[in-house]
Structures are given as structure tokens and as C-alpha cells.
Structure 1
Amino acid sequence: MSTITTEELAETTLLRFATAGSVDDGKSTLVGRLLHDSKSVLTDQLEAVERVSASRGQEAPDLALLTDGLRAEREQGITIDVAYRYFATPRRRFILADTPGHVQYTRNMVTGASTAELTVVLVDARNGVVEQTRRHAAIAALLRVPHVVLAVNKMDLVGYEEKVFAAIAEEFTAYATELGVPEVTAIPISALVGDNVVEPSATMDWYGGPTVLEHLETVPVSHDLSHCHARLPVQYVIRPQGPEHPDYRGYAGQIAAGSFRVGESVTVLPSGRASKISGIDLLGEPVDVAWTTQSVTLLLEDDIDISRGDLIVPSKDAPATTQDIEATVCHVADAPLTVGHRVLLKHGTRTVKAIVKDIPSRLTLDDLSLHPHPGQLVANDIGRVKVRTAEPLPVDSYADSRRTGSFILIDPNDGQTLTAGMVGESFAAPEPVKDESEDDGWDF
């Protein structure tokens, strides 16, 4: 195993990626093989897997155990929760989210893929593209994941036939392209044996493309948000007590996108009050500039009313505030979302009351047709919603910012997450027909 120095690790880029696929397509085995063959598994971890595998009468270690950590997962042989793994090669660092394949846990795939720059969608070569495959492709398109890898697994069980791989790759690529996925890379693999995962396959000489790891190491990383619209959701107002800081008032939070500089004119939303940045504190030290994902404290020249949930933005690049939000959503709760449903909408660090004004359409995954005015969305449905909030919110389009263009709807009674939403047009929905006799009955 080659040793990566601290200096080399600091210079490598970071790729966040997620795995998805139907039950028993081999996601956990692929992740385990990827970690094992890239020498990213600690000795004690591997020994523990070998012991459990031996107790089951298995000669070879069950690499799926490297990610299926919950007892229920091991007992049922399925992935239930998102398992995050961190590993690195000399060329790149990785944060991997192994997401469940069972339709009941599709909502977990939304969680795992929401920050991913690449999604690996597994398909069992014996079954081809199934409904859950199409669902995962649709979610990847909704979340605007820029790179999708189609890993056609279990090629050893179809005799490593090129025509089987080609037919699946053609069907999936056509479907994903219609959804708007910008890039699909198809790779034939056998996660169990290790073909084309880390090392090239000796039995599929008809394939001349990269292995899974080679593609992960070389795919362009485009998640540099430092050039996007600068946004700082305020999490906390800092007012130190004591004579050494008599006038200190700082606004702390993690920069969601872009960068901020001392002397820059900024606007606080939704109030619209303006000021200039007089200082930036990072880890207790003053700096002149701060950028995306850094947790900082901004100091302003003017003493204005700012609290948790406000958004600090450059005055020259401020988003519009609105109480009417239209978005594409994935419904993740067991209880349906209906027109007239009263909810809480959480956007960044701000949570406001809201009501579902309309559900214009639901996406049918089989043929990508839109079912107009379904009246409700049930678990794992993808559709369009119109929501009216009690207070104005500064929202970006999800196409411009995945952080400030997204939100969740919450049940106000028990705090359960109902729906994950992406602001703007992800699918072209038909215009809803307005019932003139309808009484909106807004309380706000």
C-alpha cells in the first residue's frame, strides 16, 4: 500500500459521489471492492469482515459488510441507511455515500446524492433497466448531478457478453439523456470478482474504457462554488460579554456559495438593509477574504437588525424575495402531500410557515409523461408543487445554486421531513387550470 503524505493529500481534489441501484444489484459489494482493492481498508476492519464471513461458511470475505453496518442491514441483506465512507488515492480524495436500493428507502438516495458531483447507478446485467433504475436516474437529473456512471454489474453471470452490456447501456443512456443528464459513462463490471472496479478485466477485452476507480480519479470536478453567487445564511449572532469587546457584533454562518471581502457592500435579506463588511473572522483570526464552505463571522459597519435565518448577499448580486415558490420535489414521507397541506418550509437557516397551493403535475417514470393535477404526492413521487410562504424568502434557482435553491417541507406537528424541493424548472409541467370558485383561504 502506497503512503500518501499530508502535503500530497492537501493538493488532491475532492470528489463527492453516491451509489444507487435496485436491491441486490451489488452496491455495497461494489463499494467494499472499491475500498478493498484501492487499499483503503484498515487491517482490523478487514479481519472483522473475514471473521463474520467465515462464521457464515463463506470462503471469501463478504465485502458488502464494509458498508452495511446496521444490524438490520446485515440480517436482511439490504442497505437501509446512507453509509458514508472517506478514502483517498494519490490522485484524489473521496467522500462516498452508499445509498439504499429498496424503493422504501428512495428518500435516502435524495439525501446521499444532494451534495454529490457524481452518481454511480448500478444495474444487474441479468435484469437490465428496471423502474428503480429509472427512478434513480430521475433523481440524479433533478438534483443536477453533473456526472452519472452506469455500472452494469454481475457481468460474470451473463458470460461477459458484450451485447448484453451494449443493450443496457443504450437503453439507460437514452432515458437519462431525455431526463437532461449531461453525461453518462457506462462501465461493465463484476463487483464480486473485481472486474473493471479498480483493475481492468482480463475477461472483457472488448471493453476499452476506464475502470470505475480510474474514472472517479479523472472525472472533472466542477463543484467549485467560489465563483457562484455569494450567499451567507446567518446561523448565530455573536455578542461577546466583557470590556475587551464592548462593540463587537458578528454574524456567524457557513458560506453557502461565492466569496466575501472586507469593504464589500452587502444586503441583508429579506429586510433589504444594506451595509459594508468591516471585518471577517475565520477561526478567531481576521482575514481579508473568505469563500465557500468556510465557517466565518462577518462584521458590518452599521448596527442593523440581523438574526438567525437572514441571508447576507452582495448588494450587486441580491436574489429577489418572494412568497410564492414553484419547485420540483421528491416526496419522502409515508403520509401523502396534498393541496392545502399546511407545512413548515426550511430554506437555509430560516424556517417559515407555508401552505401547498397547488400540485400541477406528477412525473410518470415509465415514459416521462406528466400526470396533471394529481391532487397529492405519495412516498417517492416526483412532481411539481406551488407553495406560498407566510414570509418572503430570498431563493435562488436550483440551477444556479444547489444550496440556496433547495428547501424541505416539514410536518409542523411532529417535525418529520415531508418533501425535498428544488426551486425552478427541472421538468416542463403543464400550466394548471385555475378553478375560479376555489377559495384559497390564506391566513397570510
Structure 2
Amino acid sequence: MTTYQPDALIREDIAAYLAQHEAKSLLRFITCGSVDDGKSTLIGRLLYDSKQVFEDQLSALESDSRRVGTQGQNIDFALLVDGLAAEREQGITIDVAYRFFATERRKFIVADTPGHEQYTRNMVTGASTADLAVILVDARKGVLTQTRRHSYLAQLIGIRNIVLAVNKMDLVGYDAQTFERIRLAYRAFATEIGITDFTAIPVSGLAGDNIANIRSAAMPWYTGPTLIEHLEQVPVDADREARGPFRLPVQWVNRPDLDFRGFAGTIASGQVKPGVAVRIVPSGRTTSVARIVAMGGDLDQAKAGQSVTLTLADEVDCSRGDMIAAADDPPEVADQFEATIVWMADEAMLPGRSYAFQLGTQAASATLRTPKYQVNVNTLEETAARTLELNAIGVVTLALDRPIVFAPYEQSRELGGFILIDKATNATVAAGMIRFALRRASNVHRQPTDVTRERRARLKNQRPAVLWFTGLSGAGKSTIANLVETKLARMNRHTFLLDGDNVRHGLNSDLGFTDADRVENVRRIGEVARLMTDAGLIVLTAFISPFRAERDMVRQMLPGGEFVEVHVDTTLAAAEARDVKGLYAKARSGALANFTGIDSPYEAPEAPELHVDTATESANAAAERIVAWLIAREEEG
């Protein structure tokens, strides 16, 4: 039986006690499962029974239990971890709560994750660093949808140690058959998703049965370990990463003075010693390690998990985002991947949109393609999907704007796990796991040509540009763009007008008007416009292009100064009044869905190069002004 008496060393030799405590292994675990399965109560009981609650905390807990608890005059152990006011008011877990505790055998960091489906993203956050998952099941309800979802996510994220805690056994009379029925049902599902082994423990978080040092007298039929006994004994391969090839993602360049230049970061895998040959990736430059500098002084060796600063024998170009790796076993580098992602944003994924990509210290711009499939966590079926909604799990293809260093997630969490960030809001929208690189990325190369884009522009005696006309339907984009092209043609300028309606008859005839299709529509037009500027042309595009993110994406495709955003501005009422096609009337009646300005948003440019207010300026006057601006730009050169 586990005991929690204060160690005599605390009184005799505090330094020795701290050294002994430091030497204990660390287990990170999460509790997860469906809502109201008792996750927070179980952790609170675990902390209480393991003597981790101080007297002042206990006094506050007793007071809070009487005021906002759900157990009458008894202690509500869930309040130990449910600290948010909203959590206490609703009796649910919303955010991830982390708690540290220790026994005489091991140290623990536990993450209490929410059970509601809408907070699945919080569960993914808690699971990303866990070694073990305690999946709770209410003995009265059995295996539910969230039980399956969290089990699938735990397996997907790479958690190999699973505990099935069948909770609230006191509410089913501590019935052995109920426990066995749930265990068998879970085993059938676990086998399907690749969980080869798990430990099932019948518990009561409220009564304390089989949690810590209280072995349940009401369940003599169970002869296995209590929860804490299992947590103390479960093997954790802490050195798994240390056995891999050496990898150090550079977090920052440490330059405290002119005589010292080191490269700081946390070792992701492997070991390193002074004198070992290393390679800087992606540059490929080789050198050797001169020193390993840590807080307490130089080290003779460092391994995965340690934060160190390396100095190198040679002056090499190395900065944040690069990787220092074993010279004889360098990591893979690629810019296209197949990955599994968990979508964490309220707004659905938009294929073709550009998102910020972050893998450790490496940053890039990522474009997502249409999902290959979405996983139904209830049936495990792989279903077709054009997008991914909140909490959906799917497999997608990512294309980055630059190569990054990686390893498949199943080999390394640190080098295979990434997040996607919305560039407009800086919100994290997805967590992903790289499955493998797409080899076509390294097999497709740009073919050099003798005639450059600069030479083509000189032959035409003009400066290439993309005039991107954006605005509501009926604002006058096509009218003004057509007038601008006519005036430029009279000046012997070489132009081409890409009109939204015309393009949808051919190149984009397969696209509709959903947000995802609009994103892809703009992406294709941007690529065509870029190729035309390579030919030396002045390209005019007349598209609603409602989203800033996609207009910014096209801007980034082109050399600086070649993208000219022209906002053709008008009020919705004015655009509707001049609607010769009758589109607004159809949208108002419900006959035309996803119409910009009615039931689909338009994000106006924040700082366009040119702004046209059609309420105060005629189409011809606007065209004259745009042409004059363009000629002045050419003369400035």
C-alpha cells in the first residue's frame, strides 16, 4: 500500500530530501472523458487523499463547498481544480487545469481537461505533453461519444498508456458485472483505434474507493492496483527521445558580449558531447560542438529535454528556426506534407487560405488543400469532406512557402507536431501531426529560362503590375477596370483583364460560392495573375474577393510594389439599387445563398493603394485617376 507520511529526511536533512525528490521520475497525465463523468472530483480526491491539500486550502474548500458546491454539506472535491467562476457556477470544466503533486515514489503533473465537445480543443492542448491518459466513464452511462472522441485523440496524439477509470461505482451498488460490461465494450472500441493495452480500474471519486490509499471494501472482487498505485508503477520511457539522433532546434542566438556566440534551445532528441560533428540544417554547413553551456556551467554531455547553449568550432550562419543536428544523420527537409489535424476554431477551415505555420521555432506560411477525408470518431469511418468544422479531425495536404526540418509525429512529438494560426486574428485554429512528406515536393523543380521577367517587361517598355479591383457586387469594379484597360491600350500598354464572371465560365467553372470556394477562386486568379506579370503584362482583375486574407495572399505572391489594391467603394443600398442582374433580389428572397453583403461577409481593405468612392466620383474620372497613378508609378521607376 502507498503511504504518504512526511519523510524523516525533511526534518533531518532538507538538502538530501530535495535531492531525493529531484531524482524521482516525472509522469505527466491527463483526465478526460464525457461531461459529468467526475474528472475534477477524481483529481480533487486524489490530491486530498495524497495529503497535497494544505490546511488553508482545505478550509477554503469547505467554505466553497457549502457556498457553490454540488455535494450538500460534504466537501466538493471538484472545486480544487475548477477555479474559474463560470466553472463553479455551471459545475463543469471549461479550461485545462494543471496540478503538481508527488508521492514517495514519483512526481506528477496532472491536467484536468473539459468533457464538453465544444471544449475538445482544450483537451488536445492538455494531451499534447501527456505520457498517460485516465479516461473516465460514468458507471451508469457506459462508453459515450466523448469517451470515444477523447480515446481516439489520445491515441492520435501518441499517448500509449491508457487507464479506463470506471467512476461512480457507488451509484451502481459496486456491481462487478456493470464494471465488466463497460470494460469489454471499451476494449472492443480500443482495439479498433489501435490501443493495444489499457488498465481498467473501478473507482468512486466521491467516496475515494480505489483512488489513493483507500482500497475499496465494497469491491472485494477487484484485486488490481488503486489508481495512484498504478500511476506510480506504470513504466514511462523517459529516454525514448534521448535514443534518437541528435536534434537541437535553435530558439535564439545567445550573444551577451563580443567574445561569446552560442545557440540556445531545448534538445528535441538524442545526445551531444563537445567535439561531436554537427550539421546546420537547412544550410547543410558542417562543424563541431566546442562547448555545452548550461546555467551551472559547462557540461560534458547533454540529452533530450535539456535546455542548453551550444558554441561551435567554426563561425557558421545559424539563427532562430535553424536546427543543429548530427552530421552523419541529418533530419528530413520538405515543404509539402500529409498531416492529421484537429480543427480548433469556430470558423470552418477554408481550403486554399494561407495560415501561419509554427513547428517549434520554425515558422512558415501554409496553404491547406481540400481534406482527403474526415474521421467519424463514433464509427471510425473516413468520410469525404470539403472543409473541417470545430473539433473535426481530418487528413489534409499542406504546402509551405519554404522547406522546414521535420520528423513524422510518430517518431518525434517535438519535430512532428505543429499548430496553424489565423494571420488576421493570431488565434490558433488547428493542431496537427505530420504523417509524412510528399515526395513530389522534392521531385518538382523550377525550370530556369533564358528570357527573364525583367527582360519581358523591358521589351514591352512597361512595369508589370496587378491592379486588383475589389468591392461589393454592383459597385462598378468591372466597369472601371474595363475603362482603365481601354485607356492603357490607347497608350500602347500591354494589358489583360481577368473578370470574375468570365473566369467562372472556364478556369473556375467547378467552383461555387461557399467561403471555401471563394478562397480557391481567388487563389487560382492570383496564380494566373502572377504568371501574367512574369510575361511583363499589366493585369487588371475585377473580383469581389471578399476576404482580406486571400487578397493579402495574392500580394505575397508578387514582388514588392506589383500588387495594387483598388477598393471600389459603395454602400450596400447603392449597389443594390444599380443591380441590373437582379442578384440582390434573389439573395433577399433566399433563392441565392452565400451572396456577399447579404448572408456572406465582405471585409473591406484597411489600407488600399487606391480608393474609389463611386458616390462622389464617376467611373470615367476614377479610371483617369487610376491610369495617372499608374503612369506616375512607372516614371518613379
Residue 223 of structure 1 pairs with residue 235 of structure 2: no
CA distance in 2, matches of 1:202, 1:287: 52
Farther-moved stretch of structure 1 (221-230 vs 319-328): 221-230
Corresponding residue for residue 331 of structure 2? 319
* Paired amino acid for 2:221: W
Q: Which amino acid aligns with 2:162?
A: V
Pairwise CA distance, 1:65: 0.6
Where 1:297 maps in the other structure, the secondary structure is strand
CA 8–285 in structure 1, closer or farther in 2 if over 3 Å, else same: closer
Give deviations 1:85-135, integer Å, cap 9, x for gaps: 000000111011111111111111111111111000111111111111100
Describe the SS at the equivalent of 1:378.
coil
Distance across 1 between alignment mates of 2:256 and 2:321: 20
Inter-partner Cα distance in structure 2 for 1:107 and 1:366: 18
Bigger RCO of structures 1 and 2 (CA < 8 A, at least 6 apart)? 1
Aligned residue in 2 for 1:239: 255
Contact map agreement 1:140 1:181 (CA 8 A) in 2: no
Asked if the contact 1:251/1:297 (under 8 Å) is kept, the reply is yes
Amino acid across the alignment from 1:234: V
Distance apart, 1:67 and its partner CA: 0.3
2:27 matched to which residue of 1?
Answer: 15
Residue 337 of structure 1 aligns to a residue whose secondary structure is coil
Q: Deviations over 1:56-86 (max 9, x none)?
A: 5832211111100111111111111111100
Q: Residue 201 of structure 1 aligns with which residue?
A: 216
Q: Secondary structure at the match of 1:403?
A: helix
Residue 115 (structure 2) pairs with residue 112 (structure 1): no
Question: Closer, same or farther in 2 for the Cα pair 1:409/1:56, shift >3 Å?
Answer: closer
Matched, 1:342 2:364: no
Counterpart mapping for 1:292-307 below 5 A: 292-307=304-319
The residue identity in structure 2 corresponding to 1:128 is G
Deviation at 1:7, TM superposition (A): 3.2
CA distance, structure 1, for counterparts of residue 296 and residue 285 of structure 2: 26
1:137 aligned to 142, 145, 151, which one?
151
The letter for the 2-side match of 1:285 is G
2:308 counterpart SS class: strand
**Does the 8 A contact of 1:397 with 1:423 survive in 2?**
yes
Q: Matched residues in 1 for 2:68 and 2:324: separation?
A: 56
Match for residue 98 of structure 1 among 112, 129, 132 = 112
* Higher deviation after alignment, 397-406 or 180-189: 180-189
- The whole-number CA distance in structure 1 between the counterparts of 2:24 and 2:291 is 31
The answer to whether the Cα contact below 8 Å between 2:149 and 2:378 also exists between their aligned partners in 1 is no
Q: Name the SS for the 1:151 alignment partner.
A: strand
Structure 1 unaligned spans of 5+: 426-434
Given that residues 28 and 129 in structure 2 are in contact (C-alpha distance below 8 angstroms), is that contact kept between their aligned partners in structure 1?
Answer: yes
- Alignment of 1:148 with 2:162, yes or no, is yes
Return the alpha-carbon distance in structure 1 between the equivalents of residues 293 and 375 of structure 2: 46
User: Is 2:198 the partner of 1:184?
Assistant: yes
- Match of 2:633? none
RMSD, aligned α-carbons = 1.9
The question of whether the paired residues in 1 share the 8 Å contact of 2:167 and 2:203 is answered with: yes
Contact preservation (8 Å) 1:361, 1:370: yes
Counterpart of 1:276 (choices 288, 291, 294) is 288
Check whether the contact 1:358–1:387 (CA below 8 A) recurs between aligned residues: no
Letter in 2 for 1:228: G
1:139-184, Cα deviation, whole Å (9 max, x unpaired): 0010110101111111111111111111111111221221112321
**CA drift at 1:24:** 0.8
Contact conserved, 1:144 with 1:181, CA < 8 A, in 2? no
Cα distance between partner residues in 1 of 2:330 and 2:90: 50
What is the aligned partner in structure 2 of residue 369 from structure 1?
381
Range 400-409 or range 57-66, more displaced: 57-66
| Partner-residue secondary structure (3-state), 2:201 | strand
| Structure with higher strand content | 1
> 1:152, 1:188 within 8 Å by CA — same for their partners in 2?
yes
- Cα pair 1:20 1:109 within 8 Å, conserved: yes
2:63 maps to which of 51, 62, 70: 51
* Structure 2 counterpart SS, 1:64: helix
Q: Which amino acid in 1 is paired with 2:430?
A: T
Q: TM-score normalised to the size of structure 1?
A: 0.93
Q: 1:88 aligns with which of 102, 120, 128?
A: 102
Residue 124 of structure 1 pairs with residue 138 of structure 2: yes
2:341–2:393 contact (8 Å) kept in structure 1: yes
Determine helix, strand or coil for the equivalent of 2:206: coil
Output the TM-score relative to the length of structure 2: 0.65
Q: Is the 8 A contact 2:68 2:89 kept in 1?
A: no
- Give the equivalent residue in structure 2 for 1:431: none
Name the residue aligned to 1:262: 274
1:211 corresponds in structure 2 to 226
> Which whole-Å deviations, capped at 9, do the CAs of 1:344-386 have from their partners, x for residues lacking one?
11011111111002310100111111013x0111111111011
What amino acid is the match of 1:255? I
Deviation at 1:284, TM superposition (A): 5.6
C-alpha distance in structure 1 between counterparts of 2:221 and 2:188, whole Å:
22
Superposition deviation, residue 257 in structure 1:
2.0
**By percentage of residues, which structure has more helix?**
2
Letter in 2 for 1:126: R
Q: Distance in 2 between matches of 1:230 and 1:135?
A: 35
Q: 1-side partners of 2:314 and 2:100: how far apart?
A: 43
Report if aligned partners of 1:352, 1:391 keep a CA contact under 8 Å in 2: yes
Q: Which residue of 2 aligns with 1:162?
A: 176
Instruction: Name which one, 1 or 2, has greater alpha-carbon Rg.
Output: 2
1:29-69 C-alpha deviation (Å, 9 max, x unpaired): 00001011111111111111011113358322111111001
Structure 2 gaps of 5+ residues are: 8-16, 437-507, 512-519, 528-556, 559-637
8 Å CA contact 1:147, 1:182 repeated in 2: no
Measure, in 1, the Cα distance between the counterparts of 2:234 and 2:52: 20
Q: Which of 380, 394, 402 does residue 413 from structure 2 map onto?
A: 402
Work out the CA distance in 1 between the residues paired with 2:113 and 2:399.
Answer: 32
CA contact (8 A) 2:345 2:428 kept: yes
Report Cα offsets for 1:280-313 as digits up to 9, x if no partner: 1011612221112221111111111111111111
Q: Which residue of 1 aligns with 2:503?
A: none
Aligned partner of 2:626 in structure 1 is none
Determine if contact 1:327/1:423 at 8 Å carries over to the other structure.
yes
Aligned residues of 1:8 and 1:90 also touching (Cα < 8 A): no
Q: Distance in 2 between matches of 1:168 and 1:352?
A: 45
Shift, 1:8, TM fit: 2.8
